[in-house]
Each structure stands twice: as C-alpha cells, then as structure tokens.
Structure 1
C-alpha cells in the first residue's frame, strides 16, 4: 500500500483524538505573564508546554523540556535533519468573541478559540505527523524534531535560549503561516516615538487617550476622555467619522462637560492591516475633527493623525510607501498610543518592509516628519527581510508534497508576518492554512477548518518520509 494511502487512513482513524488534543491545548490561557521560578514567561505558557509534551508522550514520542523555555518532541534518537518550529503561547484574547475563546468550540467543521490557528492547532498537526510516521513504521535514517516554543508572540526569547543550547537542524520549517511555501518574510520596523509638552489647561481638550495593547496587533479598541464639550457636540461628528472609517463610537456623559469616548474597530494581525479596522486611527480621526483648544498637545495629536491616517495601510502619509516584485508593498500598523494632558505621549507602530527597504529609506524619512510636530523617533527595532532560495532541494520537496496531497499548484510566496525561521538560514514557513483562508489570527473568533488541519498533518507526515526516510536525498 502506498505511503499516501496509509497516512490518510491513519488520520481518518485518529480524527476525533486529533480534535480533542487541540482542544486540550486551547483551553490553557497561555498569554505571556510575569516570570516566575521555572516559568520564564509566566504560568500560562509553561502549562501549555507541559501539556504539549504530555500529549506527545501519550502518542509514543520522545520529549525533552528545556526549563520551560522550549520543548522538543522526536520520533527517534537518530541525527535530526528536519526541524519543525511551532509555539504554544498566544496573544491576548481581546474582545467581541462569539464563543468562549478558551473553550475550543466546534461548529460546522470549524474550531474556534485563541490559538487554534496560531499556533496550537498547527503544533498538534506537526506532532501527529511525527506520531503517524512512527506508528506506521516507515523506515527512517534521520530524526525529525518538533521544537515547541513559548515566547513567539512576545520577542522570541525562547528561540534565542534554545539556539544557545542546541543547533537548529539543517532543514527547518514552521507551521505558522499558510501554504504553499513562504520563502520570503518581509523585514519589520517595530519602534516608538514620544514627546513631552506643557500641561494642558485650555478647554475643550483631551484629558487622556489610550489605544492598543500589543505592537503586532491592529488595535480593536481605543478610548479617550474629552473635557469642555457636551455629548451632542461630539455625537454628530462621531457619526460622520464612523461613516468614513467604519469605526464605531460609544459616548458616555461623565458630567461636568466631560465625555468618555470608546472607539470600536476590528482587530487583526499587524502584517495585514488592510484586513482589520484600526480603532486607534479612527479615534484620532475623530479627535482631529473636534473643535478643541489649539494647544501644543492637541497639535501633536493632529500631527500623529496626519502621519498615520486611518486606512493608510501602506505608509504613504509617512513617506514610506514602497514595494518590489518579490516581496510586495510596505505595510503600516499604528499600534499603540498613550496620551495625557499632563504633558506626556508615547506611540508605537509596526511596519512590515519589503526587500528593497533599508534603514536609510525608512528611518531617515520618518524621523523628520515626526520632528515637525515635536515627536522624537526611537531609532532601532529594524529587522531585515528573510529570503530562502525557491530552487533549493528542501523547498522543492515541500512544494512537491503539497501538490501531491492537494492537487493544487505549489509556488513560493512572500508574507509580511515574521515567524520563527526569520533568522534561520534556509528556513521557510509551510502551512498549515490553505490558500485564501483568513483564520482571524490575533483577532476575535480565531478558527481553524478541522479537515484542512488534518490535511496539513498528512502533508507534514509525507514530508518527514521524503526528507528523513531511507530514500532521503539530504
């Protein structure tokens, strides 16, 4: 019987168990927390890692826990030629879920929950690929090692720790994106700007403004308190801004001519800001439209609104618009802003930059634009793009297996997201999401299509056979 048929039969027989194991992981709220002894990224990530390794042991795989930074899962104790890099930490759940984000509810063939697609479901898919190859008894001459991290969403200190202890296998992919093969990851600029100014005393004014919670997330909500205007004065303008931006506003009268404003958008991943509705830039559009006192602080807010206007997904107003054929357009997400009328503000943004970007054609352009409004840019946080040649044996093997199992044409693509392989030479992202599917990662109602995840696991199992089996050309 052919390998493909055996692999498909294995996953058909294990489908319910596969689903249950993803649910076990999703139920753990593994958002980064305060470091504790033996828990470098808090209780949640450590618990998720321990549960992952427990599941792997139930499947008959070999495990190792590196101080709750990273866990490894292996088929055997042979030399590791293939590495699969996944993670079980997640971003915060945010708001406006249709289901409990930690119950992993299955509806019409989809499983909803934080981490289902990023990256707990994919980790289970990769783990089952290892288990399938082992249980089916395919002859191997190399090991495949699944490397499971716990800090991918917050700086990847887990991967740094792992690489300080062990070398990465010579061939590595991460199941943390989409098919076919992602061989180009844009670079990134994640940095901040700040300003100090005289305490605001004139009216009307913004007393405080807060928006965003993580630099790589399109902010789904933002709030402000305005003093010196009545609620009806704001309501009419807010309605017009909603029509223009798609951001909704909830207004609450606090008395004494103070109004609380809550902007509600739709969150998303910073690498694809065009798929979300940025509540923070919508709120800034409203603030800029209000008849506020002409003060230093208000001029700075208006300046920010001009440099990072709503729906300017490609950095045109900031002077950063650029693109190339291989990696596409620069994208811009204005992520976080904190403002107080006492005289302080700080903003953060996340821009994904193409192969043609440099520090000179980004920082040198943006710095003077911000300086016009007295905003000081922090130079730093520049991450170069990542490129793996499309014609390598490794990439071509992945594409061939993808075509075999899907019947679709395999090709290499570029993304704005940065994955674990960004700084690993020769690494690529490979699934598990099928082309054209938006799983709402980093947003509310994140989901996976269960049959697609099973298909991805089958693809990974075949890749292991091709690259680590007796007939491997590696």
Structure 2
C-alpha cells in the first residue's frame, strides 16, 4: 500500500466528518454587511472566518487571523513556502426561490449537500483543508509548506486579499479551489466604458417621443428587464402592436404594457463573460423604439445608432470594431448592459472581456473613435489586463497529472471571461472544485455540491499537494 492509497482511505473513512464540517460552516449566513469595530465586513463574515480557522486549528494546523480581514492555516510553517490555496468563507445573499431547504439549513439529500456556500466556496475550501488533514494524519512527509488562505470578501470586493498581500508574499505557486476542474489558467481582461450624449431642448418638445429608457442593474450582467416610457404615443395603435409582435418574435423576449405610456421588455440575463447565452432586454427595447412612429429629433436619430454599434445577438464586438481572438484565450465578448436614458441625456455602458491579444491600440482607441464618430462622448474605465499562466509550466502539468490520475478524466487548460480570486496573483490558477459538466447552482437558489464530487476534489487536492510539496 503506497502513501496515496492511505490518504484516500483516510478520506473515505472521514467522509461524514468532512460533510459535517461543511454543514457547520455553511450554517453561518456570511453575507457582507455594515462594518463593525473589529469586523471590517460585518458580523457574519467575521463569524465564518473564525469558525474556519477554529476548524483548521482543530485539525492540528498553525492558524493566523489577520484582523478579521483574512486568515490562513499552515501545514508546517517551519518548511519553506511553496504552495498557497486561496479560498473564501463569505457567500452571496440567499436570494429567493429555494425549494429543497432553507438556504442556511444544510441537508444531505439525493447524494448532494444542499445550501448556500456548499459549492461556493465553503465546501471546496474544506475539501482543501481535509486534503491537508489527510496528509498530516497519515504522516505523509512534506518537505515544503502548503498554506490554506481564507478570505472573507471575495464576493463583494478585494479588501481582504489586499490586506493579505500588503504584508505576505505569495508562494511560488497558488491555486484557488473556487471554480471548475480541470484548470483555468487564462482569465480574459476587462474593458468597460460608457458613452453618453446630452440632448438638445427640442428633443423634449416633439411628439410622439421616448421620455425614458431604463435597463440593466449591473455592468457585468446582460439586462433581463427594460422599461420604455413615451409621450404622445398611443400604445394600442396597430403599428405599435405590429412592432411589439415583431420584436417579441425576432428577439425571443416578452413585452407587456405596464402603464398608459409604458412598455416593459423581459429578456434573459446572463453573465457578461457569456453574453451569448442571454437575451438583452435593453437592446430589444431599442429595436422596438426604432420601429415606432416617433417624431424626428436628436434622440430619435441617436437611438438608431445603437443597433449599428451593438446589433442584437452579436456579442463579439465586431460592429464596434474591436473583435479579436487568439488560440490561447479565445474570442473577445462585448455586451451593452446599462441603459439610463431620459429627455436630457442618453447614457449607455458596455462590458467587454478581452483576450490576450487585445490592447489599448486595437481595442480601447478603436471603440472610442467609433463611438465619437456616432456622436457620443466616450468615458473609459481603462483596460484591466488579462491573467495567464503558461500551460506548459511544471506547476500546471503537475496539477493536471494529479487530476487525471485521481479522476480518470482528461485534463485540459481552460480560458474564461470571468475573474477568479487569483486574477492578480503571479503564477495563480483556478483548480476545481466542481467537476466538468456539473451545475451546482452557485449564486442561485438550491445551491448544492455533489457528495461524490466533494470526495473526488479532496483526493485531487491531496494528490496535488503531495506532488508539489514533497
């Protein structure tokens, strides 16, 4: 029997202990709230951080709490630093629509652990902790240290990780158990910008006209709802009903009259990193505006420009002139996500996720020129650079071999449009813990983590630690 068999057998024998510890940590509703003295992110995130560190100390590890911003547990602090595992104990709000259990009453059912935080990220964090614990309990020797870092503001900010790296150096290698297997080694950059136009007084005098267009609740999400208000337009006119029916059919949205002069468009939201999976209610609203018998004025002409810049259903940035793609990171995506328009000003903001080959010259400056030529003022948030770790590095190869040997699945490197905890960490990758093809409903109602996935992840992490640190 080799040592790794002993580790796996120890993990199998302690499966219920692992599940019970996940339950105990997930019962804490660690959503960020107003700060209190000594609790920078509120009371519940502080409780969850301290509970995690209490568990890790009980496993025999040296722990340290950094002013309730973040904490960590060392396998053996006397050994040279080599591997950091970066996880977090805060969660998103429970939200509505739970059917299996109360979000913070964690249960086992149908081979799954149900509840908020089970898969993001308390469950995966404890998989990593139990991997360390199994290595310790089986007396498997390590010659280099592994540290499990526990953040408490990953879902809402970066103050926790900034606090950590203000005094601590990153280990030579870092992975975050806060995404999907096999490995995410490339995270696209981000380019967010607004374009606006102040309207002349004449636009607010003609009839019929648009008086308001409001869509989108966040820059990183395709708008699911848009509201358009009019002045001087009878919504029961045949030409209006025809336009509504056409847009519903063409865009796959629903349009309802919600006031005497108001229409509400319902589409489907999606994350800005995968906008092609959504139905943009804001863009559908603009298409509808452009088919209605509105008076000619400055605002009417400007609304006609929007589909030329952001055609409905086109999310590659080609109409804006910034389409780009490379083999390592894939294609650029761009989505118009915020619409704030009234009779004095039109305001729009878009979110583009940029591959390694995008830069200021072929992206930001081109978008600026295109939008200014269309008659808008351009305001950029700047470009956040992408993050990449070479797929050929020893670190990546070792993680993939551990994943393949434990799971029997083919390992590969992935590129994503979203950002993870390691986006700004040198030689940092996201490594699990969710197996390919599984949707754990993280951030949604009825979040869960498959129990077999929990055990596989713990074994993969143990194998990776042994290969990297012994």
Indicate the RMSD between aligned Cα atoms, in angstroms. Answer: 3.1
- 2:261 corresponds to which residue? 258
1:366: how far off?
Answer: 0.9
Question: Which 10-residue stretch deviates more, 298-307 or 327-336?
Answer: 298-307
1:414 aligns with 2:415: yes
**1:422 match: secondary structure:** coil
Q: Kindly tell me: are residues 213 and 201 of structure 1, through their superposed partners in 2, closer, same or farther at Cα, counting changes over 3 Å?
A: same
Greater shift after overlay, 361-370 or 295-304? 295-304
Residue aligning to 2:224:
220
Q: Secondary structure at the match of 2:132?
A: helix
Q: Distance in 1 between matches of 2:310 and 2:97?
A: 25
In structure 2, the residue matched to 1:369 is 370
Give the Å deviation of 1:408: 1.7
C-alpha contact (below 8 Å) 1:331/1:353 kept by paired residues? yes
Q: Structure 1 residues 112 and 196 mapped into 2: Cα distance closer, same or farther (>3 Å)?
A: farther
Normalised by the length of structure 2, the TM-score is 0.86
What is the match of residue 202 of structure 1?
Answer: 206
SS in 1 for 2:365: helix
Label 1:9 to 1:226 Cα distance change in 2 as closer, same or farther (>3 A).
farther
SS in 1 for 2:423: helix
Tell me the residue number matched to 2:250.
244
Give the direction of change, closer, same or farther, for the CA distance of 1:272–1:124 in structure 2 (3 Å limit): farther
Matches within 5 A, 1:154-173: 154-173=156-175
Deviation at 1:221, TM superposition (A): 3.5
Other-structure match for 2:65: 65
Aligned-residue offset at 1:406: 1.0
Q: Can you give the 5+ residue segments of structure 2 that lack an aligned partner in the other structure?
A: none
Tell me how far apart the structure 1 counterparts of residues 16 and 236 of structure 2 sit (CA, whole Å). 55
Q: Counterpart of 2:454?
A: 453
- Aligned twin of 2:391: 390
Matched residues in 1 for 2:146 and 2:23: separation?
24
Are 1:227 and 1:259, in contact at CA under 8 Å, matched by a contact in 2? no
Residue in structure 2 matched with residue 399 of structure 1 by the alignment: 400
The number of equivalent residue pairs is 464
Give the Å deviation of 1:146. Answer: 1.4
1:185 matched to which residue of 2?
A: 187
Aligned counterpart in structure 1 of residue 139 of structure 2, from 126, 129, 137: 137
Whose Rg is larger?
A: 2
5+ residue gaps, structure 1, are none
After TM superposition, the structure 1 stretch with the greater mean CA deviation from structure 2, 239-248 or 15-24, is 15-24
Shift of 1:26: 4.6
Distance change >3 Å, CA 287–CA 68, structure 1 → 2: farther
Q: Which residue of 2 aligns with 1:85?
A: 86
Q: CA 1:45–1:328 in 2, change beyond 3 Å: closer, same or farther?
A: same
C-alpha separation between the residues in 1 aligned to 2:95 and 2:467? 41
CA separation of 1:97 and 1:223: change in aligned 2, threshold 3 A: farther
